[in-house]
Amino acid sequence: MNLTGVSAVRAPTKMRTISQTLPFITRCAAIAKGFETGHRTDFSVEAEKAVLVSVDLPKRPWPTDDPCDEIRGLAEAAGARVVGELTQKRHEIHLATYIGSGKVGELKELVEASDADVVIFDNDLHPAQGRNLEKALGVKVLDRSELILDIFATRARTLESRLQVELAQLEYSLPRLKNMWTHLSRQKGGGIGLRGPGETQLEEDRRLAGKRIGDLKQKIAEVQGRKEREVKSRREEFTVSLVGYTNAGKSRLMNTLTKADVFVKNQLFSTLDTRTRQWHIPDFGKVLLSDTVGFIRDLPHHLVASFKATLEEARQAKLLLHVVDASNPQAERHIEAVNAVLKELDCDKNPILLVLNKIDAVADRTALDVLRADHPKAVAVSGLTGEGIDTLTATVVEMLSKDFVEAEVVASTSNGKAIAYLNAHAEIFRQDYRGEEVVFRCVLPRHLVHHVQATGATVTAGK
């Protein structure tokens, strides 16, 4: 079972994972120290050979003609070398091993023939199913959620994201502690008041994990408080966030729009930490553009919950740019997956503009025409070539401008704070003096009305 700081597809032993061979108490202490000091605890030695398994179920059908397409990309992103694949269609899962007994035998032969180190399921397994499969196959078995959590653990860079990943992994692993280690014999307690049967190592491990989870939640709450204050400090700014499926091209699009030098790589989850850059739009002004972590189908719930602080920019943004890889045959499914995560994050009520990216890579223009027909308000662009960027910019300005209001502001001629604030944030088209008062007719962002009022001025805003 994969825990923080340990790459599950890089464990040095073939038969058991690192988390099954090192005492949990030792691992947590080492990992916690690594996170506190900013250094990763690395138990890895080399990439492993992986066999992939994908099961088609009525409630979770294969999204493409290549059932292992996405899990293959995830495994390679985690550093594994795929040496075999196995698929099965079932009406319902096998309670003991998820796949049928015949497929388990076929899978065992494939593992032995390919000398694989790990079997990775593109489905989420019950803890008992994972244990039964490991016993039958003789190698470690990971499910989809574990693999995604592992990738996040290897990509986390800031203290914030490392804490969030560690919490998600511990919460996912806690119910799976049972029978994970061979050191669960009764401890021999001694000393007055301590004699008796003692407690199992499992109970000690659970207590330690529970304490660490509590500590992490407290630290993340502090981080989230700071993040919320940081984001709220930008309320006077126009904030736009890029969201979308992983590898949709958000970082490259951000580079094109802001001339920033954000890391870009054709890889799943190449971006974990939110980056914010200034986007200067001619005849409009400055916009703060944020690039967020990519989403994916069946994103582990613990991970979504843990990363709410990281996604605070998206939650508070004036506008979300939902970036879609238009060249991907599963673009429509990706849109649905992202919308589901946005709803879980309470972001679905924010204004959203769909951006069909990578149109330069679209092989079949008919597919792009279908997307455009299904989403008539979407904007088609290429973050690589710059095609459609002018249209995107104009649409963003139009959507942000809907939040402007025509207002009359009355302030004392001695109220330099109010006058300076209006000159900096409003478009003033008339200014009259009435005795010791000055009257401004201006266009003002609606969300700044209360800021003007806070300077002591009187604001009469139109609807």
Residue 427 pLDDT > 90: no
Residue bearing the bigger pLDDT, 12 or 404? 404
Mean pLDDT of the chain: 79
Q: Which domains does the chain have, with CATH numbers?
A: 1-233 (3.40.50.11060), 235-401 (3.40.50.300), 404-461 (3.30.70.240)
Residue 99 pLDDT > 50: yes
Instruction: Report yes or no: 118 and 50 within 8 Å, Cβ to Cβ.
Output: yes
Residue range 90-109: mean pLDDT, rounded? 94
Give the pLDDT confidence score for residue 106 in this predicted structure: 95
Instruction: Report yes or no: 215 and 430 within 8 Å, Cβ to Cβ.
Output: no
What whole-number distance in Å separates Cα of residue 183 and Cα of residue 170? 20
Percent of the chain with pLDDT over 90: 37
CA distances from 222 to 218, 239, 274 (A): 6, 23, 17
Residue range 190-212: mean pLDDT, rounded? 62
Residue 57 pLDDT > 70: yes
Confidence of residue 265 (pLDDT cuts 50, 70, 90): low
What whole-number distance in Å separates Cα of residue 339 and Cα of residue 362? 23
Nearest to 133 by CA among 124, 125, 141, 123: 141
Pairing between β-strand 427-434 and β-strand 437-445 as defined by DSSP bridges: antiparallel
Q: What is the DSSP letter of 364?
A: -
Residue range 168-192: mean pLDDT, rounded? 57
pLDDT digits (tens, 9 = 90+) for 343-365: 887 787 889 999 999 999 998 88
The separation between the first and the last C-alpha atoms of the chain, rounded to the nearest angstrom, is 57
Instruction: Report yes or no: 134 and 118 within 8 Å, Cβ to Cβ.
Output: no
Residue 25 pLDDT > 50: no
Residue range 296-302: mean pLDDT, rounded? 74
What whole-number distance in Å separates Cα of residue 341 and Cα of residue 348? 9
88 forms beta bridges with: 55
Residue bearing the bigger pLDDT, 158 or 366? 366
Residue range 325-342: mean pLDDT, rounded? 90
Confidence of residue 296 (pLDDT cuts 50, 70, 90): confident
- How many CB atoms are located within 10 Å of the residue 229 CB? 10
Give the pLDDT confidence score for residue 269 in this predicted structure: 65
Greatest CA separation for the chain: 93
What whole-number distance in Å separates Cα of residue 414 and Cα of residue 171? 58
Nearest to 247 by CA among 169, 147, 323, 167: 323
Pairing between β-strand 404-412 and β-strand 437-445 as defined by DSSP bridges: antiparallel
Give the pLDDT confidence score for residue 463 in this predicted structure: 56
If you average pLDDT over each of 110-114, 181-185, 210-214, 247-251, which comes out highest? 110-114
pTM above 0.85, yes or no: no
What whole-number distance in Å separates Cα of residue 231 and Cα of residue 225? 10
Give the pLDDT confidence score for residue 270 in this predicted structure: 60
SS3 sequence of 33-86: HHHHHCCCCCCCCCCCEEEEEEEEECCECCCCCCCCHHHHHHHHHCCCEEEEEE
Percent of the chain with pLDDT over 70: 77
Residue 45 pLDDT > 60: no
CA distances from 423 to 51, 228, 430, 442, 460 (A): 64, 28, 12, 10, 17
Using only the alpha carbons of the chain, give its radius of gyration: 27
**Any idea which residue has 């994990």 for tokens?**
209
Least confident of 6-20, 113-127, 372-386, 398-412: 6-20
Give the pLDDT confidence score for residue 325 in this predicted structure: 95
Residue bearing the bigger pLDDT, 449 or 299? 449
Nearest to 170 by CA among 152, 157, 188: 152
Give the pLDDT confidence score for residue 129 in this predicted structure: 93
| H-state helical runs in 233-382 | 250-258, 301-306, 312-316, 331-344, 365-374
Least confident of 18-32, 69-83, 261-275, 410-424: 18-32
Residue range 423-450: mean pLDDT, rounded? 88
Least confident of 138-147, 159-168, 195-204, 216-225: 195-204
Residue bearing the bigger pLDDT, 15 or 174? 174
Least confident of 177-186, 212-221, 296-305: 177-186
* Main-chain dihedrals φ then ψ at residue 81, nearest 5 degrees: -110, 115
Instruction: Report yes or no: 191 and 211 within 8 Å, Cβ to Cβ.
Output: no
Nearest to 152 by CA among 40, 53, 66, 50: 40
Give the pLDDT confidence score for residue 6 in this predicted structure: 33
